[in-house]
């Protein structure tokens, strides 16, 4: 059984909480889309996917030029945003 936490919310407030979470999820998804688009530009320009880039960058094969640092930052942000969206998608509500 997965670890879980329990949050107690007044039944009358549950719909407001769900709506707020859905709004927040929408904001995260829009940010994720924008960051992915920026990452895709690097992939097209440099002729490699982000996974390959990340491995080479982590091994120090690419140096520390500004563009590589930016791409690495984008990959990190995308990873964090993906996790947050997944976390929100996995919420379960009981009333």
The number of folded domains in the chain is 1
Confirm whether 49 is domain-assigned.
Answer: yes
pLDDT of residue 34: 98
The pLDDT, as a whole number, for residue 94 is 79
Q: What is the pLDDT of residue 95?
A: 73
Tell me whether residue 57 is in a domain.
yes
* Residue 58 domain boundaries: 31-89
Q: Would you tell me the crossing angle of helices 66-89 and 50-58 to the nearest 10 degrees?
A: 120
pLDDT of residue 92: 86
Residue 35 lies in a domain: yes
Of 95, 70, 89, 94, which Cα lies nearest the Cα of 21?
89
In a domain, 41, yes or no: yes
Residue 5 lies in a domain: no
Q: Are 81 and 42 in contact (CB under 8 A)?
A: no
Does some domain include residue 7? no
Q: Per-10-residue mean pLDDT for the chain, 95 residues long?
A: 80 93 97 98 97 96 94 97 96 82
The answer to whether residue 17 is domain-embedded is no
pLDDT for 5 equals: 82
Length of the chain: 95
Asked whether residue 25 is assigned to any structural domain, the reply reads no
Cβ-count burial 46-62 (b if 16+ within 10 Å, e if not):
eeeebeebbeebeeeeb
Model's pTM, two decimal places?
Answer: 0.86
């Amino acid at each position: 059984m997965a670890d879980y936490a329990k949050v107690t919310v007044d039944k009358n407030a549950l719909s407001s909480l769900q709506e707020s979470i859905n709004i927040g999820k929408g904001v995260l998804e829009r940010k994720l889309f924008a960051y992915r688009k920026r990452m895709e530009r690097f992939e097209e320009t440099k002729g490699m996917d982000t996974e390959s880039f990340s491995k080479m960058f982590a091994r120090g094969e690419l140096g520390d030029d500004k563009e590589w640092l930016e791409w690495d930052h984008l990959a990190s942000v995308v990873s964090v945003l993906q996790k947050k969206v997944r976390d929100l998608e996995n919420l379960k509500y009981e009333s």
